[in-house]
Structure 1
Protein backbone atom coordinates (compact mmCIF):
# COMPACT_ATOMS: atom_id res chain seq x y z
CA UNK A 1 0.00 0.00 0.00
CA UNK A 2 1.40 3.36 -0.97
CA UNK A 3 1.81 6.30 1.38
CA UNK A 4 -0.85 8.24 -0.55
CA UNK A 5 -3.44 5.50 0.01
CA UNK A 6 -2.56 5.38 3.74
CA UNK A 7 -3.19 9.12 4.16
CA UNK A 8 -6.45 8.86 2.23
CA UNK A 9 -7.70 6.15 4.55
CA UNK A 10 -6.72 8.19 7.61
CA UNK A 11 -8.51 11.20 6.20
CA UNK A 12 -11.66 9.23 5.45
CA UNK A 13 -11.64 7.70 8.91
CA UNK A 14 -11.20 11.16 10.49
CA UNK A 15 -14.05 12.60 8.48
CA UNK A 16 -16.32 9.67 9.32
CA UNK A 17 -15.51 10.03 13.02
CA UNK A 18 -16.18 13.78 12.85
CA UNK A 19 -19.56 13.21 11.22
CA UNK A 20 -20.54 10.67 13.84
CA UNK A 21 -19.41 13.06 16.63
CA UNK A 22 -21.33 15.99 15.23
CA UNK A 23 -24.45 13.85 14.69
CA UNK A 24 -24.31 12.54 18.23
CA UNK A 25 -23.68 16.11 19.57
CA UNK A 26 -26.65 17.43 17.61
CA UNK A 27 -28.93 14.69 18.85
CA UNK A 28 -27.73 15.29 22.41
CA UNK A 29 -28.31 19.05 22.22
CA UNK A 30 -31.76 18.49 20.69
CA UNK A 31 -32.68 16.12 23.50
CA UNK A 32 -31.40 18.54 26.16
CA UNK A 33 -33.19 21.46 24.56
CA UNK A 34 -36.40 19.50 24.26
CA UNK A 35 -36.26 18.48 27.88
CA UNK A 36 -35.36 22.03 28.97
CA UNK A 37 -38.29 23.49 27.05
CA UNK A 38 -40.58 20.93 28.59
CA UNK A 39 -39.39 21.88 32.08
CA UNK A 40 -39.71 25.61 31.27
CA UNK A 41 -43.21 25.10 29.94
CA UNK A 42 -44.23 23.27 33.10
CA UNK A 43 -42.75 26.12 35.17
CA UNK A 44 -44.62 28.78 33.17
CA UNK A 45 -47.83 26.80 33.41
CA UNK A 46 -47.44 26.44 37.16
CA UNK A 47 -46.70 30.17 37.55
CA UNK A 48 -49.75 31.02 35.45
CA UNK A 49 -51.97 28.96 37.73
CA UNK A 50 -50.51 30.62 40.82
CA UNK A 51 -50.79 34.17 39.41
CA UNK A 52 -54.25 33.51 38.04
CA UNK A 53 -55.46 32.69 41.51
CA UNK A 54 -54.18 36.01 43.00
CA UNK A 55 -55.79 39.18 41.68
CA UNK A 56 -53.31 41.53 43.40
CA UNK A 57 -50.28 39.84 41.84
CA UNK A 58 -51.99 39.75 38.45
CA UNK A 59 -52.83 43.46 38.63
CA UNK A 60 -49.25 44.37 39.55
CA UNK A 61 -47.83 42.38 36.66
CA UNK A 62 -50.30 43.88 34.21
CA UNK A 63 -49.44 47.42 35.34
CA UNK A 64 -45.70 46.77 35.00
CA UNK A 65 -46.20 45.25 31.56
CA UNK A 66 -48.27 48.26 30.46
CA UNK A 67 -45.63 50.70 31.72
CA UNK A 68 -42.94 48.81 29.87
CA UNK A 69 -44.94 48.84 26.64
CA UNK A 70 -45.64 52.59 26.96
CA UNK A 71 -41.97 53.33 27.54
CA UNK A 72 -41.05 51.31 24.49
CA UNK A 73 -43.62 53.19 22.45
CA UNK A 74 -42.30 56.57 23.60
CA UNK A 75 -38.71 55.57 22.91
CA UNK A 76 -39.63 54.68 19.35
CA UNK A 77 -41.57 57.85 18.62
CA UNK A 78 -39.50 60.46 20.49
CA UNK A 79 -35.80 61.16 20.67
CA UNK A 80 -33.69 64.07 21.90
CA UNK A 81 -33.68 65.66 18.44
CA UNK A 82 -37.42 66.23 18.07
CA UNK A 83 -38.60 67.02 21.61
CA UNK A 84 -39.37 70.59 20.67
CA UNK A 85 -41.04 69.62 17.40
CA UNK A 86 -43.69 67.42 18.97
CA UNK A 87 -44.78 69.84 21.68
CA UNK A 88 -47.42 69.18 24.32
CA UNK A 89 -50.79 68.54 22.74
CA UNK A 90 -52.57 69.68 25.90
CA UNK A 91 -50.65 72.93 26.35
CA UNK A 92 -53.24 75.03 24.50
CA UNK A 93 -55.99 73.55 26.62
CA UNK A 94 -54.11 74.47 29.79
CA UNK A 95 -53.32 78.03 28.71
CA UNK A 96 -55.26 80.79 30.45
CA UNK A 97 -56.15 82.67 27.29
CA UNK A 98 -59.06 83.35 24.96
CA UNK A 99 -59.52 85.32 21.76
CA UNK A 100 -60.86 88.79 22.71
CA UNK A 101 -63.25 88.55 19.75
CA UNK A 102 -65.13 85.85 21.66
CA UNK A 103 -66.05 88.31 24.43
CA UNK A 104 -69.11 90.48 24.63
CA UNK A 105 -68.71 94.11 23.59
CA UNK A 106 -68.45 95.37 27.18
CA UNK A 107 -66.00 92.65 28.18
CA UNK A 108 -63.84 93.31 25.12
CA UNK A 109 -63.68 97.04 25.87
CA UNK A 110 -62.48 96.39 29.43
CA UNK A 111 -60.04 93.67 28.34
CA UNK A 112 -58.39 95.83 25.68
CA UNK A 113 -58.10 98.77 28.07
CA UNK A 114 -56.54 96.63 30.83
CA UNK A 115 -54.17 95.05 28.31
CA UNK A 116 -52.86 98.45 27.24
CA UNK A 117 -52.85 99.89 30.75
CA UNK A 118 -50.84 97.09 32.36
CA UNK A 119 -48.88 96.07 29.26
CA UNK A 120 -49.97 92.45 29.27
CA UNK A 121 -51.16 90.28 26.38
CA UNK A 122 -54.85 90.73 25.52
CA UNK A 123 -55.59 86.98 25.33
CA UNK A 124 -54.90 86.08 28.98
CA UNK A 125 -56.50 89.33 30.16
CA UNK A 126 -59.56 88.51 28.05
CA UNK A 127 -59.82 85.15 29.83
CA UNK A 128 -59.60 86.83 33.24
CA UNK A 129 -62.25 89.37 32.24
CA UNK A 130 -64.48 86.57 31.01
CA UNK A 131 -64.02 84.67 34.28
CA UNK A 132 -64.63 87.81 36.35
CA UNK A 133 -67.97 88.33 34.62
CA UNK A 134 -68.92 84.72 35.28
CA UNK A 135 -67.88 84.82 38.94
CA UNK A 136 -69.54 88.20 39.43
CA UNK A 137 -72.89 86.86 38.28
CA UNK A 138 -72.59 83.79 40.51
CA UNK A 139 -71.65 85.54 43.74
CA UNK A 140 -73.29 88.94 43.20
CA UNK A 141 -70.10 91.01 42.96
CA UNK A 142 -69.48 93.59 40.27
CA UNK A 143 -66.89 92.10 37.86
CA UNK A 144 -65.18 95.47 37.52
CA UNK A 145 -64.56 95.42 41.28
CA UNK A 146 -62.86 92.04 40.93
CA UNK A 147 -60.67 93.29 38.10
CA UNK A 148 -59.87 96.49 40.00
CA UNK A 149 -58.59 94.43 42.95
CA UNK A 150 -56.43 92.36 40.59
CA UNK A 151 -55.06 95.57 39.08
CA UNK A 152 -54.19 97.18 42.41
CA UNK A 153 -52.94 94.00 44.05
CA UNK A 154 -50.74 92.43 41.37
CA UNK A 155 -50.95 94.50 38.16
CA UNK A 156 -52.11 91.23 36.51
CA UNK A 157 -48.95 89.33 37.46
CA UNK A 158 -50.13 85.79 38.39
CA UNK A 159 -46.79 85.02 40.07
CA UNK A 160 -46.69 88.07 42.34
CA UNK A 161 -45.85 87.54 46.02
CA UNK A 162 -45.69 90.11 48.78
CA UNK A 163 -43.19 90.22 51.63
CA UNK A 164 -45.73 88.66 54.00
CA UNK A 165 -46.72 85.80 51.68
CA UNK A 166 -49.75 87.11 49.79
CA UNK A 167 -49.69 85.34 46.44
CA UNK A 168 -51.06 85.45 42.93
CA UNK A 169 -53.39 87.76 41.04
CA UNK A 170 -55.55 88.73 44.01
CA UNK A 171 -52.72 88.45 46.57
CA UNK A 172 -54.60 86.05 48.81
CA UNK A 173 -52.77 84.94 51.95
CA UNK A 174 -52.30 81.31 50.96
CA UNK A 175 -51.28 80.20 54.45
CA UNK A 176 -54.43 81.73 55.93
CA UNK A 177 -56.81 80.42 53.28
CA UNK A 178 -55.14 77.10 52.51
CA UNK A 179 -58.46 75.32 53.13
CA UNK A 180 -59.93 77.07 50.10
CA UNK A 181 -57.18 75.68 47.88
CA UNK A 182 -57.77 72.07 48.89
CA UNK A 183 -60.45 71.63 46.22
CA UNK A 184 -57.89 72.77 43.61
CA UNK A 185 -55.11 70.42 44.66
CA UNK A 186 -53.24 72.42 47.29
CA UNK A 187 -51.52 75.73 47.93
CA UNK A 188 -49.49 75.72 44.71
CA UNK A 189 -52.76 76.34 42.88
CA UNK A 190 -52.45 79.93 44.14
CA UNK A 191 -50.26 80.60 41.10
CA UNK A 192 -52.87 79.33 38.67
CA UNK A 193 -54.61 82.53 37.49
CA UNK A 194 -58.17 81.18 37.40
CA UNK A 195 -57.85 79.33 40.70
CA UNK A 196 -56.44 82.39 42.44
CA UNK A 197 -59.23 84.50 40.99
CA UNK A 198 -61.91 82.11 42.24
CA UNK A 199 -60.45 81.85 45.73
CA UNK A 200 -59.91 85.61 45.89
CA UNK A 201 -63.52 86.29 44.91
CA UNK A 202 -64.70 83.87 47.58
CA UNK A 203 -62.63 85.72 50.18
CA UNK A 204 -63.89 89.08 48.89
CA UNK A 205 -67.51 87.94 49.08
CA UNK A 206 -67.02 86.84 52.70
CA UNK A 207 -65.36 90.15 53.57
CA UNK A 208 -68.20 92.20 52.06
CA UNK A 209 -70.79 90.07 53.85
CA UNK A 210 -68.96 90.55 57.15
CA UNK A 211 -68.53 94.31 56.76
CA UNK A 212 -71.93 94.99 55.24
CA UNK A 213 -70.56 97.28 52.54
CA UNK A 214 -68.14 97.21 49.64
CA UNK A 215 -65.78 99.77 51.13
CA UNK A 216 -65.81 97.99 54.48
CA UNK A 217 -65.31 94.68 52.71
CA UNK A 218 -62.22 96.05 51.00
CA UNK A 219 -60.83 97.12 54.36
CA UNK A 220 -61.38 93.59 55.62
CA UNK A 221 -59.82 92.17 52.47
CA UNK A 222 -56.62 94.15 52.89
CA UNK A 223 -56.43 93.28 56.59
CA UNK A 224 -57.27 96.74 57.92
CA UNK A 225 -60.69 95.98 59.43
CA UNK A 226 -59.64 96.99 62.95
CA UNK A 227 -57.22 99.73 61.92
CA UNK A 228 -57.92 103.43 61.66
CA UNK A 229 -56.38 103.65 58.17
CA UNK A 230 -56.19 101.21 55.27
CA UNK A 231 -53.52 103.24 53.50
CA UNK A 232 -56.00 104.39 50.87
CA UNK A 233 -56.49 100.84 49.59
CA UNK A 234 -60.28 100.95 49.28
CA UNK A 235 -60.10 104.35 47.62
CA UNK A 236 -57.57 103.11 45.04
CA UNK A 237 -59.59 100.00 44.21
CA UNK A 238 -62.83 101.93 43.84
CA UNK A 239 -61.11 104.59 41.74
CA UNK A 240 -59.73 101.92 39.40
CA UNK A 241 -63.20 100.44 39.22
CA UNK A 242 -64.49 103.92 38.39
CA UNK A 243 -62.28 104.01 35.30
CA UNK A 244 -63.82 100.77 34.05
CA UNK A 245 -67.31 101.98 34.88
CA UNK A 246 -66.70 105.03 32.69
CA UNK A 247 -65.56 102.73 29.87
CA UNK A 248 -68.76 100.70 30.12
CA UNK A 249 -70.74 103.95 29.96
CA UNK A 250 -69.10 104.74 26.64
CA UNK A 251 -66.74 107.38 27.95
CA UNK A 252 -63.11 107.58 26.88
CA UNK A 253 -60.50 106.80 29.53
CA UNK A 254 -56.84 106.81 28.44
CA UNK A 255 -54.81 103.77 29.53
CA UNK A 256 -52.31 106.17 31.11
CA UNK A 257 -54.92 107.68 33.44
CA UNK A 258 -53.45 108.03 36.93
CA UNK A 259 -55.15 107.04 40.13
CA UNK A 260 -56.06 109.98 42.35
CA UNK A 261 -54.34 110.47 45.67
CA UNK A 262 -56.53 109.18 48.52
CA UNK A 263 -58.06 111.94 50.66
CA UNK A 264 -56.32 112.52 53.98
CA UNK A 265 -58.38 112.02 57.13
CA UNK A 266 -58.16 115.00 59.51
CA UNK A 267 -59.93 115.84 62.75
CA UNK A 268 -62.09 118.96 62.98
CA UNK A 269 -63.98 119.73 66.21
CA UNK A 270 -63.55 116.13 67.30
CA UNK A 271 -65.08 114.73 64.10
CA UNK A 272 -62.98 112.91 61.49
CA UNK A 273 -63.55 114.18 57.97
CA UNK A 274 -61.91 113.58 54.60
CA UNK A 275 -59.85 116.46 53.27
CA UNK A 276 -59.69 116.70 49.52
CA UNK A 277 -56.38 115.89 47.92
CA UNK A 278 -54.56 118.39 45.70
CA UNK A 279 -56.63 118.92 42.59
CA UNK A 280 -55.71 118.53 38.95
CA UNK A 281 -57.91 119.34 35.96
CA UNK A 282 -56.41 116.60 33.76
CA UNK A 283 -58.89 113.78 34.43
CA UNK A 284 -62.41 113.05 35.53
CA UNK A 285 -62.56 110.33 38.17
CA UNK A 286 -65.58 108.82 39.87
CA UNK A 287 -65.37 109.19 43.65
CA UNK A 288 -66.60 106.35 45.90
CA UNK A 289 -69.77 107.00 47.82
CA UNK A 290 -69.16 108.64 51.16
CA UNK A 291 -65.96 110.37 50.05
CA UNK A 292 -65.59 114.08 49.49
CA UNK A 293 -65.52 115.02 45.83
CA UNK A 294 -61.90 115.16 44.75
CA UNK A 295 -60.03 115.50 41.54
CA UNK A 296 -56.87 113.54 40.78
CA UNK A 297 -53.49 114.91 41.65
CA UNK A 298 -50.64 115.28 39.21
CA UNK A 299 -49.68 112.05 37.38
CA UNK A 300 -47.93 109.52 39.58
CA UNK A 301 -46.78 105.95 39.19
CA UNK A 302 -49.45 103.19 39.11
CA UNK A 303 -50.30 101.84 42.52
CA UNK A 304 -48.17 98.97 43.77
CA UNK A 305 -49.75 95.69 44.92
CA UNK A 306 -51.08 95.76 48.46
CA UNK A 307 -48.92 94.11 51.05
CA UNK A 308 -51.62 91.98 52.66
CA UNK A 309 -54.87 90.65 51.29
CA UNK A 310 -57.61 88.34 52.32
CA UNK A 311 -57.23 88.19 56.11
CA UNK A 312 -58.11 90.17 59.20
CA UNK A 313 -56.08 92.75 61.07
CA UNK A 314 -55.06 90.31 63.80
CA UNK A 315 -53.30 88.18 61.20
CA UNK A 316 -51.64 91.21 59.73
CA UNK A 317 -50.27 92.29 63.10
CA UNK A 318 -49.08 88.77 63.87
CA UNK A 319 -47.19 88.61 60.57
CA UNK A 320 -45.63 91.99 61.16
CA UNK A 321 -44.13 90.91 64.49
Structure 2
Protein backbone atom coordinates (compact mmCIF):
# COMPACT_ATOMS: atom_id res chain seq x y z
CA UNK A 1 0.00 0.00 0.00
CA UNK A 2 2.79 2.40 0.86
CA UNK A 3 4.51 1.74 -2.48
CA UNK A 4 1.30 2.84 -4.25
CA UNK A 5 1.53 6.24 -2.48
CA UNK A 6 -2.23 6.59 -1.97
CA UNK A 7 -3.94 9.82 -0.96
CA UNK A 8 -6.01 8.02 1.69
CA UNK A 9 -6.09 4.57 3.31
CA UNK A 10 -9.45 3.28 4.60
CA UNK A 11 -9.14 0.50 7.17
CA UNK A 12 -12.38 -1.39 7.75
CA UNK A 13 -11.88 -3.22 11.01
CA UNK A 14 -9.95 -5.90 12.93
CA UNK A 15 -6.76 -3.86 13.19
CA UNK A 16 -5.91 -6.16 16.08
CA UNK A 17 -7.16 -9.57 17.18
CA UNK A 18 -8.07 -9.89 20.82
CA UNK A 19 -7.20 -13.61 20.85
CA UNK A 20 -4.19 -14.96 22.68
CA UNK A 21 -3.28 -17.48 20.00
CA UNK A 22 -4.31 -17.33 16.35
CA UNK A 23 -4.43 -20.20 13.88
CA UNK A 24 -2.31 -18.58 11.16
CA UNK A 25 0.07 -16.20 12.94
CA UNK A 26 2.46 -14.05 10.95
CA UNK A 27 3.86 -13.12 14.36
CA UNK A 28 3.10 -14.31 17.89
CA UNK A 29 0.42 -12.36 19.70
CA UNK A 30 1.90 -10.44 22.62
CA UNK A 31 0.48 -10.85 26.11
CA UNK A 32 -2.29 -13.41 25.73
CA UNK A 33 -5.96 -12.58 25.17
CA UNK A 34 -6.92 -8.94 25.71
CA UNK A 35 -9.38 -8.33 28.55
CA UNK A 36 -8.30 -5.05 30.15
CA UNK A 37 -6.84 -1.70 29.16
CA UNK A 38 -3.25 -2.84 29.62
CA UNK A 39 -3.85 -5.85 27.37
CA UNK A 40 -5.46 -3.87 24.55
CA UNK A 41 -2.75 -1.18 24.76
CA UNK A 42 -0.05 -3.83 24.48
CA UNK A 43 -1.66 -5.42 21.43
CA UNK A 44 -1.99 -2.06 19.66
CA UNK A 45 1.62 -1.21 20.53
CA UNK A 46 2.78 -4.50 19.04
CA UNK A 47 1.13 -3.73 15.70
CA UNK A 48 2.33 -0.12 15.70
CA UNK A 49 5.90 -1.44 16.14
CA UNK A 50 5.77 -3.17 12.74
CA UNK A 51 8.00 -1.13 10.37
CA UNK A 52 5.84 -1.75 7.27
CA UNK A 53 2.72 -0.69 9.19
CA UNK A 54 4.58 2.42 10.29
CA UNK A 55 5.46 3.17 6.66
CA UNK A 56 1.85 2.82 5.54
CA UNK A 57 0.71 5.16 8.33
CA UNK A 58 3.41 7.66 7.37
CA UNK A 59 2.67 7.69 3.65
CA UNK A 60 -1.01 8.76 3.86
CA UNK A 61 -3.78 9.68 6.27
CA UNK A 62 -5.98 6.78 7.43
CA UNK A 63 -9.69 6.62 8.15
CA UNK A 64 -10.66 3.73 10.38
CA UNK A 65 -13.60 1.82 11.77
CA UNK A 66 -13.53 -1.15 14.10
CA UNK A 67 -15.04 -4.57 13.66
CA UNK A 68 -15.54 -7.30 16.24
CA UNK A 69 -11.96 -8.37 17.04
CA UNK A 70 -10.92 -4.86 18.00
CA UNK A 71 -13.11 -5.58 21.04
CA UNK A 72 -14.24 -9.25 21.14
CA UNK A 73 -15.19 -11.81 18.52
CA UNK A 74 -18.81 -11.54 17.30
CA UNK A 75 -20.02 -9.02 19.88
CA UNK A 76 -23.44 -7.55 19.14
CA UNK A 77 -24.54 -4.39 20.91
CA UNK A 78 -24.30 -5.01 24.63
CA UNK A 79 -24.16 -8.79 24.16
CA UNK A 80 -20.73 -10.46 24.22
CA UNK A 81 -19.75 -13.77 22.71
CA UNK A 82 -18.54 -14.88 26.15
CA UNK A 83 -20.09 -13.49 29.37
CA UNK A 84 -16.88 -13.42 31.40
CA UNK A 85 -15.30 -10.95 32.20
CA UNK A 86 -18.05 -8.27 32.46
CA UNK A 87 -18.45 -7.17 28.85
CA UNK A 88 -19.12 -3.46 29.23
CA UNK A 89 -15.93 -3.04 31.27
CA UNK A 90 -14.01 -4.95 28.62
CA UNK A 91 -15.64 -2.88 25.85
CA UNK A 92 -14.75 0.37 27.63
CA UNK A 93 -11.12 -0.74 27.86
CA UNK A 94 -11.04 -1.70 24.18
CA UNK A 95 -12.67 1.59 23.15
CA UNK A 96 -10.15 3.59 25.19
CA UNK A 97 -7.15 1.79 23.69
CA UNK A 98 -8.63 2.11 20.20
CA UNK A 99 -9.11 5.86 20.62
CA UNK A 100 -5.58 6.28 21.97
CA UNK A 101 -3.95 4.39 19.11
CA UNK A 102 -6.03 5.19 16.03
CA UNK A 103 -6.46 8.42 14.03
CA UNK A 104 -9.77 9.56 15.49
CA UNK A 105 -10.97 13.08 16.21
CA UNK A 106 -12.15 14.54 19.49
CA UNK A 107 -15.77 13.83 18.50
CA UNK A 108 -14.95 10.13 18.79
CA UNK A 109 -13.58 10.31 22.32
CA UNK A 110 -15.16 7.42 24.26
CA UNK A 111 -17.49 7.82 27.19
CA UNK A 112 -16.89 4.58 29.04
CA UNK A 113 -18.41 1.76 26.98
CA UNK A 114 -19.86 4.16 24.38
CA UNK A 115 -18.05 5.70 21.40
CA UNK A 116 -19.76 7.40 18.46
CA UNK A 117 -17.69 5.99 15.62
CA UNK A 118 -19.96 6.74 12.66
CA UNK A 119 -19.16 9.92 10.75
CA UNK A 120 -18.80 11.33 7.22
CA UNK A 121 -15.64 12.66 5.60
CA UNK A 122 -15.86 14.87 2.52
CA UNK A 123 -13.24 14.43 -0.22
CA UNK A 124 -13.82 17.59 -2.21
CA UNK A 125 -16.59 17.35 -4.80
CA UNK A 126 -15.57 13.82 -5.76
CA UNK A 127 -16.66 11.70 -2.80
CA UNK A 128 -18.28 11.51 0.59
CA UNK A 129 -16.98 8.67 2.73
CA UNK A 130 -19.61 7.57 5.24
CA UNK A 131 -18.01 5.46 7.97
CA UNK A 132 -20.45 3.12 9.69
CA UNK A 133 -20.62 1.09 12.90
CA UNK A 134 -22.41 -2.23 12.42
CA UNK A 135 -21.47 -3.61 15.87
CA UNK A 136 -22.44 -1.25 18.68
CA UNK A 137 -26.12 -0.73 17.89
CA UNK A 138 -27.18 -3.94 16.14
CA UNK A 139 -29.92 -6.29 17.27
CA UNK A 140 -28.82 -9.73 18.42
CA UNK A 141 -28.25 -12.35 15.73
CA UNK A 142 -31.52 -13.78 14.34
CA UNK A 143 -32.80 -17.30 15.00
CA UNK A 144 -29.81 -18.56 17.01
CA UNK A 145 -28.68 -15.61 19.14
CA UNK A 146 -25.11 -16.35 18.02
CA UNK A 147 -23.24 -15.57 14.82
CA UNK A 148 -23.30 -18.34 12.25
CA UNK A 149 -25.07 -19.72 9.21
CA UNK A 150 -28.87 -19.97 9.15
CA UNK A 151 -31.16 -21.56 6.59
CA UNK A 152 -34.02 -20.27 4.50
CA UNK A 153 -36.40 -21.15 7.35
CA UNK A 154 -34.90 -18.36 9.51
CA UNK A 155 -37.71 -15.86 8.99
CA UNK A 156 -36.61 -13.63 11.87
CA UNK A 157 -33.98 -12.07 9.64
CA UNK A 158 -36.80 -10.45 7.61
CA UNK A 159 -38.43 -8.78 10.62
CA UNK A 160 -39.16 -5.16 9.61
CA UNK A 161 -37.94 -3.66 12.88
CA UNK A 162 -34.55 -5.43 12.87
CA UNK A 163 -31.56 -3.12 12.48
CA UNK A 164 -27.83 -3.54 12.13
CA UNK A 165 -27.13 0.19 12.48
CA UNK A 166 -29.61 1.28 15.13
CA UNK A 167 -32.33 3.86 14.58
CA UNK A 168 -30.17 6.94 15.20
CA UNK A 169 -27.39 5.88 12.84
CA UNK A 170 -29.90 4.84 10.14
CA UNK A 171 -31.57 8.27 10.33
CA UNK A 172 -28.20 10.05 10.23
CA UNK A 173 -27.06 8.05 7.17
CA UNK A 174 -30.33 8.67 5.35
CA UNK A 175 -29.83 12.39 5.86
CA UNK A 176 -26.23 12.24 4.67
CA UNK A 177 -27.24 10.47 1.45
CA UNK A 178 -30.23 12.72 0.86
CA UNK A 179 -28.11 15.85 1.14
CA UNK A 180 -25.02 14.58 -0.69
CA UNK A 181 -23.82 16.50 -3.75
CA UNK A 182 -20.65 14.46 -4.37
CA UNK A 183 -20.11 12.29 -7.44
CA UNK A 184 -19.57 9.21 -5.25
CA UNK A 185 -20.95 8.10 -1.90
CA UNK A 186 -18.67 5.50 -0.34
CA UNK A 187 -19.89 3.52 2.66
CA UNK A 188 -17.00 2.17 4.72
CA UNK A 189 -18.32 -0.62 6.92
CA UNK A 190 -17.55 -4.03 8.32
CA UNK A 191 -19.62 -7.02 7.18
CA UNK A 192 -20.92 -8.57 3.93
CA UNK A 193 -23.70 -6.38 2.53
CA UNK A 194 -24.82 -8.36 -0.54
CA UNK A 195 -27.06 -11.37 -0.18
CA UNK A 196 -24.86 -14.46 -0.16
CA UNK A 197 -25.91 -18.10 -0.19
CA UNK A 198 -22.91 -19.84 1.37
CA UNK A 199 -24.30 -23.38 0.99
CA UNK A 200 -23.27 -25.25 -2.14
CA UNK A 201 -25.96 -27.16 -4.03
CA UNK A 202 -29.49 -27.57 -2.76
CA UNK A 203 -30.55 -25.62 0.29
CA UNK A 204 -29.62 -22.14 1.38
CA UNK A 205 -27.25 -20.88 4.01
CA UNK A 206 -26.93 -17.24 5.03
CA UNK A 207 -24.61 -15.53 7.49
CA UNK A 208 -26.75 -13.96 10.21
CA UNK A 209 -23.77 -11.77 11.20
CA UNK A 210 -23.78 -9.83 7.92
CA UNK A 211 -26.61 -7.79 6.44
CA UNK A 212 -28.36 -11.04 5.47
CA UNK A 213 -29.34 -11.20 9.13
CA UNK A 214 -30.86 -7.70 8.90
CA UNK A 215 -32.70 -7.70 5.57
CA UNK A 216 -35.02 -4.77 6.35
CA UNK A 217 -32.03 -2.63 7.33
CA UNK A 218 -30.33 -3.48 4.03
CA UNK A 219 -33.47 -2.78 2.01
CA UNK A 220 -33.94 0.62 3.63
CA UNK A 221 -30.38 1.63 2.80
CA UNK A 222 -30.53 0.24 -0.75
CA UNK A 223 -33.78 2.13 -1.34
CA UNK A 224 -32.24 5.37 -0.07
CA UNK A 225 -29.26 5.04 -2.43
CA UNK A 226 -31.67 4.41 -5.31
CA UNK A 227 -34.28 7.03 -4.41
CA UNK A 228 -31.69 9.78 -3.86
CA UNK A 229 -29.89 8.77 -7.09
CA UNK A 230 -26.54 8.37 -5.39
CA UNK A 231 -23.56 6.57 -6.91
CA UNK A 232 -23.18 4.21 -3.98
CA UNK A 233 -20.16 1.97 -3.38
CA UNK A 234 -20.13 -0.17 -0.23
CA UNK A 235 -16.61 -0.89 1.09
CA UNK A 236 -16.44 -3.99 3.26
CA UNK A 237 -13.91 -6.05 5.23
CA UNK A 238 -14.30 -8.94 7.70
CA UNK A 239 -14.19 -12.09 5.56
CA UNK A 240 -10.43 -12.33 4.80
CA UNK A 241 -10.93 -12.52 1.04
CA UNK A 242 -11.58 -10.30 -1.97
CA UNK A 243 -15.12 -10.14 -3.38
CA UNK A 244 -16.98 -7.78 -5.70
CA UNK A 245 -20.64 -7.72 -6.61
CA UNK A 246 -23.77 -5.74 -7.37
CA UNK A 247 -26.31 -4.71 -4.73
CA UNK A 248 -29.99 -5.24 -5.54
CA UNK A 249 -32.75 -3.03 -4.23
CA UNK A 250 -34.56 -6.15 -2.95
CA UNK A 251 -33.01 -9.60 -3.28
CA UNK A 252 -36.41 -11.24 -2.69
CA UNK A 253 -37.58 -9.83 -6.02
CA UNK A 254 -35.91 -11.70 -8.93
CA UNK A 255 -36.48 -8.70 -11.17
CA UNK A 256 -34.99 -6.20 -8.74
CA UNK A 257 -32.48 -3.79 -10.26
CA UNK A 258 -28.94 -3.13 -9.10
CA UNK A 259 -28.62 0.10 -7.12
CA UNK A 260 -24.97 0.05 -5.95
CA UNK A 261 -21.84 -2.08 -5.94
CA UNK A 262 -19.89 -3.70 -3.13
CA UNK A 263 -16.11 -4.07 -2.92
CA UNK A 264 -14.90 -6.45 -0.22
CA UNK A 265 -11.24 -6.23 0.69
CA UNK A 266 -9.24 -9.17 1.93
CA UNK A 267 -7.15 -9.13 5.11
CA UNK A 268 -3.57 -7.97 5.52
CA UNK A 269 -2.36 -11.11 7.32
CA UNK A 270 -5.32 -13.03 8.81
CA UNK A 271 -5.91 -16.57 7.46
CA UNK A 272 -2.37 -17.13 6.23
CA UNK A 273 -1.30 -17.16 2.60
CA UNK A 274 -4.64 -18.32 1.19
CA UNK A 275 -5.36 -19.35 -2.40
CA UNK A 276 -6.47 -17.50 -5.50
CA UNK A 277 -9.42 -19.86 -5.77
CA UNK A 278 -10.86 -22.57 -3.51
CA UNK A 279 -12.53 -25.83 -4.58
CA UNK A 280 -16.03 -24.40 -4.06
CA UNK A 281 -15.39 -20.90 -5.44
CA UNK A 282 -16.95 -21.44 -8.85
CA UNK A 283 -20.06 -23.04 -7.32
CA UNK A 284 -20.51 -20.06 -4.98
CA UNK A 285 -20.22 -17.64 -7.90
CA UNK A 286 -22.67 -19.63 -10.02
CA UNK A 287 -25.24 -19.75 -7.22
CA UNK A 288 -24.86 -16.02 -6.49
CA UNK A 289 -24.86 -14.45 -9.99
CA UNK A 290 -24.76 -10.88 -8.67
CA UNK A 291 -21.30 -11.68 -7.24
CA UNK A 292 -18.70 -11.06 -9.95
CA UNK A 293 -15.28 -11.71 -8.40
CA UNK A 294 -13.36 -13.63 -5.75
CA UNK A 295 -9.73 -13.96 -4.70
CA UNK A 296 -8.60 -15.66 -1.51
CA UNK A 297 -5.11 -14.23 -1.00
CA UNK A 298 -4.05 -11.45 1.37
CA UNK A 299 -3.83 -7.88 0.09
CA UNK A 300 -5.86 -4.70 -0.34
CA UNK A 301 -8.05 -2.84 -2.82
CA UNK A 302 -6.70 0.13 -4.75
CA UNK A 303 -9.24 2.63 -6.07
CA UNK A 304 -8.87 5.78 -8.15
CA UNK A 305 -11.88 8.08 -8.23
CA UNK A 306 -12.65 10.80 -10.76
CA UNK A 307 -15.86 12.47 -11.90
CA UNK A 308 -15.98 10.06 -14.84
CA UNK A 309 -15.21 6.70 -13.26
CA UNK A 310 -13.98 4.67 -10.32
CA UNK A 311 -11.12 2.34 -11.29
CA UNK A 312 -10.65 -0.58 -8.89
CA UNK A 313 -7.73 -3.00 -8.66
CA UNK A 314 -7.80 -5.96 -6.29
CA UNK A 315 -4.21 -6.35 -5.13
CA UNK A 316 -3.05 -9.74 -3.86
CA UNK A 317 0.14 -11.31 -2.52
CA UNK A 318 1.22 -14.89 -3.05
CA UNK A 319 2.44 -15.18 0.53
CA UNK A 320 2.61 -13.24 3.80
CA UNK A 321 4.34 -15.91 5.88
CA UNK A 322 7.67 -14.58 4.63
CA UNK A 323 8.53 -10.99 3.72
CA UNK A 324 8.71 -9.16 0.39
CA UNK A 325 6.31 -11.08 -1.81
CA UNK A 326 5.38 -8.79 -4.71
CA UNK A 327 1.78 -7.65 -5.06
CA UNK A 328 -0.14 -8.48 -8.22
CA UNK A 329 -3.51 -7.40 -9.55
CA UNK A 330 -5.96 -10.31 -9.27
CA UNK A 331 -8.95 -8.41 -10.69
CA UNK A 332 -9.79 -4.99 -12.12
CA UNK A 333 -13.11 -3.23 -12.61
CA UNK A 334 -14.48 0.13 -13.68
CA UNK A 335 -17.62 1.68 -12.17
CA UNK A 336 -19.27 4.59 -13.96
CA UNK A 337 -21.62 7.21 -12.47
CA UNK A 338 -25.26 6.38 -13.10
CA UNK A 339 -24.46 2.71 -13.81
CA UNK A 340 -24.34 0.59 -10.63
CA UNK A 341 -22.49 -2.29 -12.27
CA UNK A 342 -19.00 -3.77 -12.32
CA UNK A 343 -17.34 -3.60 -15.73
CA UNK A 344 -14.15 -5.65 -16.17
CA UNK A 345 -11.22 -3.32 -16.84
Question: TM-score scaled by structure 1?
Answer: 0.24
Higher relative contact order (CA 8 A, sep 6+): 1
Q: Going by fraction, where is strand more abundant, 1 or 2?
A: 2
Greater C-alpha radius of gyration: 1
Higher helix fraction: Structure 1 or Structure 2? 1
